[in-house]
Structure 1
Amino acid sequence: MSATLDRISRVRISSVTLPLATPISDAKVLTGRQKPMTEVAMLFAEITTENGLEGVGFGYSKRAGGPGQFAHAREIAPVLLGEDPSDIAKIWDKLVWAGASVGRSGLSVQAIAAFDVALWDLKAKRAGLPLAKLLGAHRDSVRCYNTSGGFLHAPIEEVVERAAESVERGIGGIKIKVGHPSHEVDLARVTAVREKIGDVPLMVDANQQWDRAAARRMCRALEPLDLVWIEEPLDAYDFEGHAQLSAAFDTPIATGEMLASAGEHAELIRARGADIVQPDAPRVGGITQFLKVMALADHAHLGLAPHFAMEVHIHLAAAYPREPWVEHFEWLDPLFDEHLEISGGRMHLSGRPGLGVTISEQARAWTVAHDEVRI
């Protein structure tokens, strides 16, 4: 009897443009490096097997790159046909080599991520298990914090109000953006939120906009506010600078969301550039690569707080040995028929198999391009 019991017979990819209700600004906008964000480009992959099983996965891009991800995914999608969907690591290697001339990080692996997530979703569905349980969960819920209410385009009164609302809804922590041209404005905003929410966990995110001197000054000024972490105080690739801050201050340093491969995370961890690593599965090439980052982070005794995409990251965070955090954004809610339960400061796994989500009709309506290959 053959060990291969099923094969991939059909692959559909879709580019979906998700509009945001309000243009979003962080420190990168205030420094003139980026424009306000008005939409998120989603890349969906739907993989079907000869036995009729289906897996759904997705990746995304903000501000730019969505059409490029879709184009690359369309070129390499035929590589999946005829493969055993359980051989996920083998398939990942085939996909990355199919596009190796454009590299093994960044956009090329982000296009692979949608396929990879769909394969893990399919594998867990075949087993009749939530993905976290297939991976081996350490917990059925994960601490969660909200970011979407703390952007710099919002006046502090709104940020404070939304922080309080999030806590009342059962969210366990609040993160707000910093990196304003005025350090005094940053400190006033963080202090106002701290005074409003009391001892609720509070994080800040500078989105890479400080230089080393400014970061040292701000880390020192923020120490009395008892923050869970200070995120991306420096350029994402300044591993040495992040390591210096981690060694100099009591407040943990968090970074990693902008790194675009497992290899880049390995360098960050080797440099001791973070107390808390923040990998993003769609950005590093999917769940297969994220699991490599998780293993390295655990071996280095680091905290874990995956970036964005909570629909995927709830499962991965639940499988991390050390108590992690997961980031709450409601932005992707319209794309799925199901939504995650939040209470008691935690995001809860559902009993649904796989990722536990299905693509909504609204997402179908927002589709701007699609393609399909089949045997």
Structure 2
Amino acid sequence: MADGLATSADRIESVRFGHYAVPLAFAVSDAKVATGRQRPLSQIDVLTCEITTADGLAGLGFSYTTRAGCRAQFAHAKEIAANLLGEDPSAIGAIYDKLLWAGASVGRSGVATQALAAIDVALWDLKARRAGLPLAKLLGSYRDSVRVYNTSGGYLQAPAEEVAERASRSLADGIGGIKIKVGQPDMKEDLRRLAAVREHLGDDVPLMVDANQQWDRAAALRFGRAVEELGLVWIEEPLDAYDAEGHAQLAAALDTPIATGEMLTSVPELVRLIDLRGADFLQPDVPRVGGITPYLKVAALADHANLQVAPHFVMEIHLHLAAAYPRDSWVEHIEWLSPLFDERPVIEDGRMLVPDRPGLGLSLAGQAAGWRLDAAEFTGRL
């Protein structure tokens, strides 16, 4: 390699980005909506990246945003894309550093690295496809399936009876656990709703709750003590996402495990959470933390600290990473991005199966073109 460019025919020849607005079947509300901080969520914006090499191989990656930010990701991706042309696509670490420095003036977290995430995922997908392996196998999987829980049926806009009915449907479809949203202005309503769902499901069904950063430390402690007898798998984001000390205090005070980390957008932020023991279940998010490359750094540190990992959202990516984590993880089943792809995950007996297709095993669906808001392509060799 000279000046960072591939010396063989194996080089990046084109990079194509797309901005898609994927509509949800119905708008959903969590604690941030219930307390007036955000509007109901009605679509997911997705930044896709397709990388093609001189020998005709291709990789597909994506990032996402909710409510705002994807246009900024798209713009940043376009600004740094030319740095990919001519590079050896297997030199993922070197490419990552090169792209970080290309956008160094806007930092190493947030929009900058979230745009980079789509590129990084595409490179890992390409590498696994070249090897003829599912990404999980390329990374060194520990298992061929991962425990799966459903979130999309448990949002606050639905009454408890509807949440319970959807939970039953999810279990009938083979999903192994259920997560519901909490964090309403009246905590008593949360407790009533949660008790009703627990009674409906029975004591043996794994049940999680997610407060979406609703409470202060005192309120979170009251809630945690009030639900100890329900045997929850975890309480998710009880506090502001950046309150690592507060999460650590809760984790130490409660028998119920604490889960958090999905909103953090850099490795140092997640490392601080690990160091303070602020989560029993760490929840990194590949698109938010900047791609698979930084995610793997976080996962290695979490394993060293003997933590469970339950990556947030994007089951299409996280299935592979959870299968490659030493401890049996949970993957979150939310079907919002499924219409973008031709393939669907296979779920059996409470577990999501790692596909045997190379890479992520995904291809963009024909109907995705109807949701595309913008596109850009870069070709050639510098």
If the TM-score is normalised by the length of the shorter chain, which range does it land in? Answer: over 0.9
The residue that corresponds to 2:95 in the other structure is: 91
- 8 A Cα contact 1:116 1:287, kept in partner: yes
Output the CA distance in 2 between the equivalents of 1:20 and 1:339: 17
The residue that corresponds to 2:234 in the other structure is: 229
1:241 is aligned to 2:235:
no
3-state SS in 2 of match to 1:92 = helix
- 8 A Cα contact 2:171 2:177, kept in partner: yes
The residue that corresponds to 1:304 in the other structure is: 309
3-state SS in 1 of match to 2:336 = coil
Q: What 5-or-longer segments of structure 2 have no aligned partner?
A: none
The residue that corresponds to 1:281 in the other structure is: 286
Output the CA distance in 2 between the equivalents of 1:296 and 1:136: 17
Output the CA distance in 1 between the equivalents of 2:195 and 2:85: 55
Which of 154, 163, 168 matches 2:172? 168
Say what the alpha-carbon RMSD is for the aligned residues.
Answer: 1.1
Amino acid at match of 2:283: Q
3-state SS in 2 of match to 1:41 = strand
The residue that corresponds to 1:118 in the other structure is: 122
Q: What are the Cα deviations for residues 150-192 of structure 1, in whole angstroms up to 9, with x where unaligned?
A: 0001111110100111011100000000001111110111111
The residue that corresponds to 1:220 in the other structure is: 225
Q: What are the Cα deviations for residues 217-239 of structure 1, in whole angstroms up to 9, with x where unaligned?
A: 00000101000000000000100
Runs in 1 of length 4+ with deviation above 3 angstroms?
Answer: 1-5
- 8 A Cα contact 2:9 2:54, kept in partner: no
The residue that corresponds to 1:69 in the other structure is: 73
3-state SS in 2 of match to 1:93 = helix
Output the CA distance in 1 between the equivalents of 2:7 and 2:372: 38
Q: What TM-score, normalized to structure 2?
A: 0.97
- 8 A Cα contact 1:14 1:43, kept in partner: yes
1:207 is aligned to 2:189:
no
Output the CA distance in 2 between the equivalents of 1:82 and 1:222: 56
Q: Number of aligned residue pairs: give it.
A: 375
The residue that corresponds to 2:156 in the other structure is: 152
- 8 A Cα contact 1:5 1:84, kept in partner: no
The residue that corresponds to 1:27 in the other structure is: 31
The residue that corresponds to 1:143 in the other structure is: 147
- Superposition pairs of residues 31-46 of structure 1, within 5 angstroms: 31-46=35-50
- Superposition pairs of residues 95-114 of structure 1, within 5 angstroms: 95-114=99-118
Identity of aligned residues (%): 66
**CA displacement at 1:363 relative to structure 2:** 1.2
**CA displacement at 1:5 relative to structure 2:** 5.3
Q: What 5-or-longer segments of structure 1 have no aligned partner?
A: none
Amino acid at match of 2:33: V
**CA displacement at 1:21 relative to structure 2:** 1.8
Output the CA distance in 2 between the equivalents of 1:167 and 1:196: 12
The residue that corresponds to 1:10 in the other structure is: 14
Output the CA distance in 2 between the equivalents of 1:96 and 1:364: 30
The residue that corresponds to 1:266 in the other structure is: 271
Q: What TM-score, normalized to structure 1?
A: 0.99
**CA displacement at 1:4 relative to structure 2:** 4.7
